[in-house]
Structure 1
Amino acid sequence: MNLTKIFKNAFMIMLASLVLSACATKKVTNQMQGDVYTGKDTVEYLASGVADRVFFATNESVLTTASRETLRKQAAWLRKNSKINVVLEGHADERGTREYNLALGERRANSVKDYLMTYGISGNRISVISYGKERPVDSGSNPLAWSKNRRSVTVKAN
């Protein structure tokens, strides 16, 4: 491996880290209308102050510390609103085959379901669906877009 390639790889890792850390600390300034927030920020809301999505590392379905904190808030909200059922939508970024990303999205959504269940939410109230890479929130083909698309979104069931 030559020195130029090593330098290029190190630079890309540092750049991706900076982009992801900037994403993680972004403040959301949406305006609330009832239980629905308006705006175009990456993070949206299931309810007042309860984020509706969690994010994952590349090719992972393991929950991050930040994801677990978000899901604890979702579980508390769901315990207070016991008549509401939810659908967990698993998503992946554009890389990988359709089949691989559908399976990965399902693993991500099931990871979220399992975590919510450990906080007392009945599995009967939770449905899981995977969209794989078919419903990106950012259609870009770069590390920032990919990080936004590797997610599970909790939506109220009809």
Structure 2
Amino acid sequence: MEKRIITGLTAIVFICSVFFMTSCAKKQVGAAGGVNPPGSEIEEVVVIKEEPKVVVIEGVEAEKAAARRAALAADFENLNVYFDYDRSNLKPDSQQVLGEKADFLRANPSYSVLIAGNCDDRGTEEYNLALGERRAMSAKKFLIALGISPDRLKTISYGELRPADPANNPVAWALNRRDSFKLFQ
């Protein structure tokens, strides 16, 4: 039984392939022997093969570039600079972070940045606002020294008003002693 089914399927495939090959065969133009009947004209058909064109879709490329810039901008804003207690001087790791931020700003001249100085909640509100301003100015001066135009750098101090972590412990205080960055155009 199985042998019959295989033989039948093979016959069907063979018949279909013969039908397909004969239906795609070229037709002969004119009479046999290459002589055309009187009054008939042969039109010459020229087929020109075009090379496939590579089409660059500018909209898609622009969207990809915009997405890359947005991701880099988010990375820029999510990377803070941290300070020691009651200090506004930049530590070596903070200088490295600011160097990376300067690279981004040089590569993206349409962006400006708001540098926000922040403090932990120890100390008076007035003192912390002044300390936050000194911290923001430290970052601004460092970026200017790296070649970023002062016109693209704005500072603000939030003091203790915008904590990254509202807890009252040494880990939270360390997270709150920071400069945060916000890009704008």
TM-score normalised per structure 2? 0.60
What displacement does 1:132 show? 0.1
Aligned-pair CA distance for 1:129: 0.3
* Greater per-residue helix proportion: 2
| 2:179 aligned counterpart, secondary structure | strand
Following superposition of structure 1 onto structure 2, how do residues 114-125 of structure 1 map, counting pairs within 5 Å? Answer: 114-125=141-152
CA spacing shift, 1:136–1:48, aligned 2, 3 Å: closer
Gaps of 5+ in 1: 1-32, 37-44
Q: Which has the higher strand share?
A: 1
* Cα distance, 1:49–1:123 mapped onto 2, change above 3 Å: closer
Aligned length: 118
Q: Report Cα offsets for 1:76-114 as digits up to 9, x if no partner.
A: 000000110110000000000000000000000000000
Residues 94-133 of structure 1 aligned to structure 2 (within 5 Å): 94-133=121-160
Pick from 139, 155, 166: which aligns with 1:139?
166
Cα distance change of structure 1 residues 46 and 61 upon mapping to structure 2, 3 Å threshold:
farther
TM-score, normalised via structure 1 length: 0.70
AA of the residue aligned to 1:106: E
2-side partners of 1:93 and 1:50: how far apart?
20
Q: Does 1:67 find its partner at 2:83?
A: no
* Structure 2 letter corresponding to 1:61: S
Q: Percent identity?
A: 42
Question: Separation in 1 of the partners of 2:81 and 2:112?
Answer: 18
Counterpart in 1 of 2:62?
A: none
Among 92, 96, 101, the alignment partner of 2:119 is 92
- Deviation, 1:52, is 2.9
Question: How far off its partner does 1:154 sit?
Answer: 1.3
- CA RMSD in angstroms comes to 1.9
- Which 4+ stretches in 1 moved above 6 angstroms? none
Distance 2:77 2:154 in 1: 19
Structure (1 or 2) with the larger CA radius of gyration: 2
Structure 2, unpaired ranges of 5+: 1-66
